[in-house]
Structure 1
């Protein structure tokens, strides 16, 4: 199996619990013994969907057709991820309680939010790194100090007081499993202008245990923006199955096209991800999008880069150069008005 064939097969596997046509395709290929499982493990692991792959195969009773040693390995990874996610949920609930005691109401984001709201059929299905949440700008500094008083630390840095990116430098606790990122904005500039704490605060959803998370429409937006804008996926034309899988599940909860329609300024960035996700998952009907020329061109480039990895790497290098220099210019401008940024840049210059 080529990389492209493997990627699209993994993608289909992720949908088989909810999409009968893909289940039939996947089952036929597995039963015939025409699957390169080494390639499947490699690709699904690289895309952080190995646990989700296992969960879908188990739910549809396809594990019996897999090599025994592979199933044993899958079960081992699932057990580890389940234990980790249970600890992350516990840690997030402790943070929620701690902050609410101080009249601060965090809104959990990304993977942690999905775990707290029981979004996945199984806790072990999602791989989660950090605990992300955003708070009101008025209590942002207080939130940092509360966590630090309760054992969370980060390395002292000149830029701790400078708002670069979209969150405070990662905080860790020696007795906790996950690092914590306190967001002062949901997205990096310039996408933060139209999708902010102020625009989402009146439509927050509550979990069964009264933790706050974004509503489904806003989770659609956040999922897409994270890949397309924050990770430069719109320019790199790369695929991230974890983001695509989250979007697929969200499409079963809300109308994806309606979720992005308010954001005309960034409509192409958002719509191309919807179109790409539908294509990757074998034209899923629940993922609504506008099938226009820009969407078709975006997908065409993604496929080309899968067929010619060297072209994809060259494209990434070009855009990396652009974005890195854009970031340097932004920091240089900030240095004119921020003392700590000036010190940071001088430190970098003389360190070399």
Structure 2
């Protein structure tokens, strides 16, 4: 199978309950040795969906048809994730015990919110990265101080040319006794999107967590919107033609809680959201049952996504061109232009261009980016 075929094969595996007849196709592929299982595992690892794949294969009695070492590997990864997520749940209780006495009641976001909210059928289904939670602007720095007093420390030094008070979230904090780092948000998304998705909006529909009193999660609708913003806008999935299978799987599960079309009413870049929802539908083999719309933005996104999967040359050239264009025109030149009429932007630039560490950090950024080329 090609990279593209493996990718779409994985998508259909993640949605096996929607088309159980696909089980026979999976087994037939195993028997015919059509699948390069190293390639499959590598893709699933990159997209952080191995535990979810294990659970799908287990639910549909596919594990016994797999090579024994593959079945054992999937089970081992799943078991490790169960253990890790069990520790994360304990960590969430610890966070609440630190913040609640000071009348701070966080709203957990993204993966940890879905875990607390029972979105997943199994505690080990989702690989979690950071623990993200939202507090008010007034509670932002205080929450960080309280977590530091409880034994957390910054995972990396913050450059002195940056102002923590203006960050979307506080620099990552880690605790030697826990496996997950935490990110304390003062706003849920990048500043440019807070005009239509912000703390006040989440506050209106936030839901208390039954098993963790003193904490909240966003409504299913707001989780859907946040999923789109995080993957397609903040992480520039729409621009680069990328689709995270973990993010897509979360969207698929959330769509069972709240209709995608109704979520569109609160999304400002509506056409990009339609494109995202439609591409997830296609990758998961759900046809029109999942989301019945397509548009020009979808055709552009799908074309870029398909070319990324099919051509290493396109992937590297497209990715590099966009990265450099964003940095040069929107980043450097755009900020210099804004500095002519904004004192705040002039201060922002002065703190950077006269700081030697800024140049070193940017060099490392470029080296890291181009090292990721296929």
Please say whether Structure 1 and Structure 2 have the same fold, judged by a TM-score greater than 0.5.
Answer: yes
Question: What corresponds to 1:203 in structure 2?
Answer: 205
Equivalent in 254, 257, 264 of residue 261 of structure 2: 257
Checking the alignment, whether the CA contact within 8 Å between 2:161 and 2:358 is kept in structure 1 is: no
Q: Following superposition of structure 1 onto structure 2, how do residues 1-352 of structure 1 map, counting pairs within 5 Å?
A: 1-154=1-154, 155-157=156-158, 158=160, 161-163=163-165, 166-209=168-211, 210=213, 211-263=215-267, 265-325=268-328, 326-328=330-332, 333=339, 334=344, 336-337=346-347, 342=351, 346-348=355-357
RMSD (Å) for aligned C-alpha atoms: 2.3
Q: How far is the alpha carbon of 1:85 from its aligned partner?
A: 0.8
Structure 1 residues 349 and 39: CA distance shift in structure 2, 3 A: closer
Contact 1:257–1:290 (Cα < 8 Å) also in 2:
no
Q: CA deviation at 1:328?
A: 4.4
Structure 2 CA distance for partners of 1:117 and 1:37, relative to 1, 3 Å:
same
Structure 1 stretches of at least 4 aligned residues deviating more than 4 Å after TM superposition: 328-335, 349-352
Give the Cα separation in 2 of the matches to 1:212 and 1:105: 7
CA displacement at 1:297 relative to structure 2? 3.1
Give, in whole Å, the separation in 1 of the partners of 2:276 and 2:317. 21
Structure 1 distance, partners of 2:234, 2:280, is 18
Superposed displacement of residue 310, structure 1: 1.2
User: Could you list the per-position Cα deviations for residues 75-103 of structure 1 after superposition, in whole angstroms to 9, with x for gaps in the alignment?
Assistant: 11111111111111110121123211110
Residue segments in structure 2 that go unaligned for 5+ positions in a row: 364-374
206 and 349 in structure 1: CA distance in 2 versus 1, 3 angstrom threshold: closer
In structure 1, stretches of 5+ residues that fail to align are none
- Does structure 2 conserve the Cα–Cα contact (< 8 Å) formed by 1:52 and 1:125? yes
1:63 shift after superposition: 0.4
Measure the CA separation in 1 of the matches of 2:326 and 2:300.
22
Matched residue of 1:127: which SS? coil
Q: Deviations over 1:285-304 (max 9, x none)?
A: 55325322322332133213
TM-score (norm 2): 0.86
When normalised by structure 1's length, the TM-score is 0.91
Query: 2: distance between equivalents of 1:343 and 1:313?
Result: 29
Q: Is the CA contact 2:208–2:217 (under 8 Å) kept in the aligned structure 1?
A: yes
User: How far does the alpha carbon of each residue in 1:103-123 deviate from its partner, in whole angstroms, 9 at most, with x for none?
Assistant: 011110111111112211111
Q: Give the 3 Å change call, closer, same or farther, for CA 234–76 of structure 1 in structure 2.
A: same
Q: Number of matched residues?
A: 350
Distance 1:344 1:57, change over 3 A: farther
CA contact (8 A) 2:85 2:124 kept: yes
